[in-house]
C-alpha cells in the first residue's frame, strides 16, 4: 500500500521518532543523502502561494538528487477543469510523489485516495503536519527532548493548533491551546488528540485565558490571526483577539528559558510583539530552516529508491 504524509495523527510515535532522527542526520550530513531521490520527480500543487513551502520542498528534492515541478493555480485547476480523482491518476503516471498545498483537506485526502504515488500534505485548512514536524525538530534541538515539556499555543484554533495538538500528544507533551471565544480547535481533532495523549502520557489543555495557558510553558507558539483566505475577517479578528498577543508580559508567565516559535509569516504588533519575535528567546529562523530538513526526511522515507 502506498504510504502518505497527511496527518501526524496517522503516524505512530515510532514513525515520527524515526523521521526526526532522519531529519537530524540529513541536517548534519547532507552529502550522504545527495542521491537519495535521484531521478525522482515531485509534483508540487499550490492552490495558495507560499515562500517557505515552495522553496523548502523545491530545494529539498533538488538536494536529494531529484526535481520539483511547480503546479500553481493557473497550471492545474482542481475541481474546475478536472476531478481530484482524474488529477491524481494522471499525475501518478508521470511523477514519483505529490506535495499539495490546498484549501480543503478533502482535496489532499482525495489525491492520496485516488493516486498511486505518495502524497504529502504541504498544508490544508485542517492541518499543517510538515510545519509541526519541523517545530518538533527545533524544540528537540533547543530543549534536548520532547516528552514532559509544555507547549502553549496562543491564538486561533486553526490548522497549526490542530497539528501541534497531534504532534505534541504523540510525544507525551502537554499541549495547551489558548483561544478567544468562538475560535476553539475542531472538536474531533481535540478528541483524537486526547486519545493519543492518553496513550503516551501527554495532556491536552484548552482555555480562553492566555495567561493560564502559557503558565510554566517550555515553548510558546503563535500564528497569524487571519490566515490566507480570511482577509475579509481581519478587522473583526483584531478586535476579538485583543489580549492574545504574545508579548513580553505574556512570555513572563512561561518558564524563564521558554522558547518562542512562529510558523511565519508574522505580523509584528498583532499576534506577536517585535520585542519577542526578534528577541533572545525566539527561534523562528532555526524553525524555518528545519522545514527543509524535516521535509527532506519525509521525501526520503516516501520516495527514496
pLDDT tens sequence across 193-227: 999 999 999 999 999 999 999 999 999 999 999 87
**In this structure, are 153 and 250 located in the same domain?**
yes
pLDDT tens sequence across 34-70: 999 999 999 999 998 899 999 999 999 999 999 999 9
Q: Which is nearest to 298 in space by CA: 10, 12, 22?
A: 22
CB 165 within 8 A of CB 193: yes
Active-site choice (223, 237, 245, 293)? 223
Active-site choice (128, 162, 179, 262)? 128
Active-site choice (4, 52, 179, 291)? 291
Active-site choice (101, 170, 237, 262)? 101
pTM: 0.97
Q: 79: alpha, beta or left, given left = phi > 0 and alpha = psi -120 to 50?
A: left
**In this structure, are 203 and 271 located in the same domain?**
yes
101 catalytic residue (yes or no): yes
Domain that holds residue 103: 8-128+291-303
CATH number at residue 54: 3.40.50.1370
- For residue 41, what is the enclosing H or E element? strand 41-46
Long-range contact list for 31-36, CB < 8 A, 24+ apart? 33/63, 33/64, 33/296, 33/300, 34/63, 34/64, 34/65, 35/64, 35/65, 36/64, 36/65, 36/300, 36/304, 36/305
Ranges of H-type helices in 125-283: 129-143, 159-170, 187-200, 210-214, 234-240, 248-251, 274-277
Average pLDDT by stretches of 10, the chain with 305 residues: 88 97 98 98 94 97 98 80 92 98 97 98 98 98 98 98 98 98 98 98 98 98 86 88 97 98 97 98 98 98 92
**pLDDT at 88 (0 to 100):** 97
**In this structure, are 46 and 156 located in the same domain?**
no
Q: Measure the CA–CA gap between 164 and 176, rounded to whole angstroms.
A: 10
**pLDDT at 76 (0 to 100):** 81
263 catalytic residue (yes or no): yes
**In this structure, are 155 and 267 located in the same domain?**
yes
162 catalytic residue (yes or no): no
Amino acid at each position: 500500500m502506498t504510504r502518505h504524509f497527511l496527518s501526524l495523527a496517522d503516524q505512530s510515535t515510532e514513525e515520527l521518532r524515526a523521521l526526526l532522527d532522519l531529519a537530524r542526520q540529513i541536517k548534519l550530513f547532507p552529502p550522504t543523502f545527495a542521491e537519495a531521490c535521484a531521478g525522482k520527480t515531485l509534483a508540487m500543487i499550490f492552490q495558495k502561494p507560499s515562500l517557505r513551502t515552495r522553496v523548502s520542498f523545491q530545494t529539498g528534492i533538488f538536494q536529494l538528487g531529484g526535481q520539483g515541478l511547480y503546479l500553481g493555480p493557473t497550471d492545474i485547476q482542481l475541481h474546475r477543469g478536472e476531478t481530484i480523482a482524474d488529477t491524481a491518476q494522471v499525475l501518478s503516471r508521470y511523477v514519483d510523489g505529490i506535495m499539495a498545498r490546498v484549501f480543503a483537506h478533502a482535496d489532499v485526502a482525495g489525491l492520496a485516495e485516488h493516486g498511486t504515488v505518495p502524497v504529502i500534505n504541504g498544508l490544508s485548512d485542517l492541518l499543517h503536519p510538515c510545519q509541526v514536524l519541523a517545530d518538533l525538530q527545533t524544540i528537540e534541538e533547543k530543549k534536548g527532548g520532547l516528552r514532559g515539556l509544555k507547549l502553549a499555543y496562543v491564538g486561533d484554533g486553526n490548522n497549526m493548533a490542530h497539528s501541534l495538538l497531534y504532534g505534541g500528544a504523540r510525544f507525551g507533551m502537554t499541549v495547551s491551546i489558548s483561544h478567544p471565544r468562538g475560535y476553539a480547535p475542531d472538536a474531533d481533532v481535540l478528541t483524537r488528540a486526547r486519545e493519543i495523549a492518553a496513550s503516551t502520557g501527554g495532556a491536552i489543555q484548552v482555555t480562553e485565558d492566555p495567561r493560564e495557558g502559557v503558565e510554566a510553558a517550555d515553548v510558546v507558539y503563535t500564528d497569524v490571526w487571519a490566515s490566507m483566505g480570511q482577509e475579509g475577517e481581519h478587522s473583526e479578528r483584531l478586535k476579538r483577539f485583543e489580549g492574545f498577543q504574545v508579548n513580553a508580559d505574556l512570555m513572563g508567565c512561561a518558564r524563564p528559558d521558554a522558547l518562542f516559535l512562529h510558523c511565519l509569516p508574522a505580523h509584528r504588533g498583532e499576534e506577536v510583539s517585535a520585542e519577542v519575535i526578534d528577541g533572545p528567546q525566539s527561534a523562528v529562523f532555526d524553525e524555518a530552516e528545519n522545514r527543509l530538513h524535516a521535509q527532506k526526511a519525509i521525501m526520503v522515507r516516501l520516495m527514496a529508491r
